[in-house]
A and B are shown apart, each in its own frame.
Chain A
């Protein structure tokens, strides 16, 4: 089961590209819970309205995770825009996440 969180509205005009991401988690493992919270905070702060996030629970969809080449959890993949990027870990290091997602200049 995947939970999709669409952008709130098409408020982001053509000027900004939508960032498509996929977060792989493992049920309610502490790191996974942490990762969801961290990512949602980042999205609220930096990608309001211009992101698309899919959360994949490996405990429920192990075959899919394997097909996607996921190894450890939690693991974040930026699907688009290219280049694709991978971040592993509970996303506690916000700067690294921003860097990987290609969001610049907005670091406080």
Chain B
């Protein structure tokens, strides 16, 4: 469109190895019709990697393969391969050809030899069975017999040319101890191969762990770094980092946790396909909560898997039945699968594999892992962390609703972050704790987080009884959370106090009413009194006025009658004085009061 032509990038053709995780790391598998080199120390899994790729090629795509065994006789290879579910013995009769390439120990060597004859034989075999794959297992064994670096190099080139001519997807394995190669041919082999994979076995905290890394991959992108490898029923599996993009379906279907109250606290229950983490110190009923979830799932008729570490399935079922959770009938019906494992003996990786195998076998819709923190016991915390993460993602990929319990050493939910660091992946996080007061330990349940849903912020008390566990409200009094008998006592006490308070109030009310009535009556009496006094006062002052007026009128009339001169009016002043005494002015009143 913009005028410039761009060549469409052609992805390198690849053949999938079918090895769990590796095909993701290598973005599709090994380069088709090219050579891949696998190097590693003894017991690192080179032979298994090569053989497994061939077996998967046959089983999945009907691609025939040739396995050239330099180290072990085909008989041994088949016997070793029988420990995996490949059906190797049967394949070895049809699509898989094993060439015994072990030089007889009695063979005497005299002078130089080469691979021309062997390659001619292999070419014939390839045409006969139509092989797509070829594996040279332990080529170093043969090359070292040459006793000559120049000859080794020559044969490596010969092999490379032969592979190029024959359009075979090849896997060449060579022993190599910890990268510092004493073998001079190593450099040439790396050059010959388009893809170089390193396998390593090492001991971590007394547990043997395997690692895989892609050292080079011509013409292809790949995941750099070291990845854990584990051995499962189907061979090796690489703990590839999950695809960066997370594609989990988000269901809006709600499942019951087994507790109505808890469902209500979670805004209706757990989402289908979500992960729930239950943390708590030992004895906080994590297993009970998980067991209730499993039982509820079974009651809905959903296939369920219960994985427990360091505690047998039998004791768990028995213990749960003591609090009214019945798992055994569901085990019998086949709905529930219980699996218990010891943690110390195998690495976290192997647990992951086992759980994955169980999921694929039982196909559960709900599952419980109790407690996940146990996997950290064997093989180091870092590995366990990675495994815990992958496990949760894997379970989510399988769309299984999971409840995971995790043990806290301290009672602080935040302490969990120092442990497996799984709280951030879990969708819902429920924390169980103890409240110890007055010689009692009571269990408190809090929802720390719950993604995508409303949830209660309140603490609930988990009460266990033979009829089953249940959640009750906790009692808060004076800023304190009360539980157990303390709660009961407090409740009883509070109720008694309430009654008493009501009675007291009633009594007081009546008292006040009566007092009010009394005062009212008094007010009325006083008012009457007041009115009477006022009336009396009015009457009295009126009387006096009348009398004064009459007196002065009389004097006036008398004066008029006597025709007295104005100077004789002095008695008027005396009359005013008299009037003042009857109604004294305010200034004098205070003084009078004081003297009286």
Contacts and interface: CB of A to CB of B under 8 A. Distances in A.
B490 interface: no
B585 to A, nearest CB: 150
A24 to B, nearest CB: 6
Contacts of B116: 26-27, 29, 31-32, 58-59, 73
A26 B117 contact: yes
Contacts of A65: 117, 120-121
A94 B123 CA distance: 32
B112 A90 contact: yes
Interface string A59-94: 100110110011111110000000001111111111
A7 B142 CA distance: 35
Helix, strand, loop or mixed for chain A's interface? mixed
A96 interface: yes
Nearest to B68: A71
B113 A88 contact: yes
Contact of A58 (B109, B111, B120): B120
A85 B106 contact: yes
A83 to B, nearest CB: 9
B244 interface: no
Interface in A1-39: 24-27, 29, 31-32, 34-35, 38
Contact of B120 (A59, A94, A99): A59
A73 B158 CA distance: 13
Interface in B60-118: 99-101, 103-104, 106-118
Contacts of A25: 117
A50 interface: no
B122 to A, nearest CB: 8
B121 A97 contact: no
B72 to A, nearest CB: 14
Interface string B122-156: 01110000000000000000100000000000000
Contacts of A55: none
B159 to A, nearest CB: 12
B111 A34 contact: yes
Contact of A87 (B108, B121, B142): B108
Contact of A99 (B101, B108, B118): B108
A47 to B, nearest CB: 16
A71 B101 contact: yes
B110 A93 contact: yes
Given A63-B124, A66-B125, A72 B118 contact: yes
Nearest to B101: A71
B113 A89 contact: yes
A100 interface: yes
B108 A62 contact: no
B111 A91 contact: yes
A26 B103 contact: no
A72 B108 contact: no
Given A69-B100, A72-B142, A24 B117 contact: yes
A58 B115 CA distance: 11
Given A96-B108, A96-B110, 6 more contacts: A31-B116, A69-B100, A85-B108, A87-B107, A90-B112, A97-B108
4 closest Cβ pairs, A-B complex: A73-B117, A92-B111, A26-B116, A62-B124
Interface of B: 99-101, 103-104, 106-118, 120-121, 123-125, 142
Interface of A: 24-27, 29, 31-32, 34-35, 38, 58-59, 62-63, 65-66, 69-75, 85-94, 96-97, 99-100
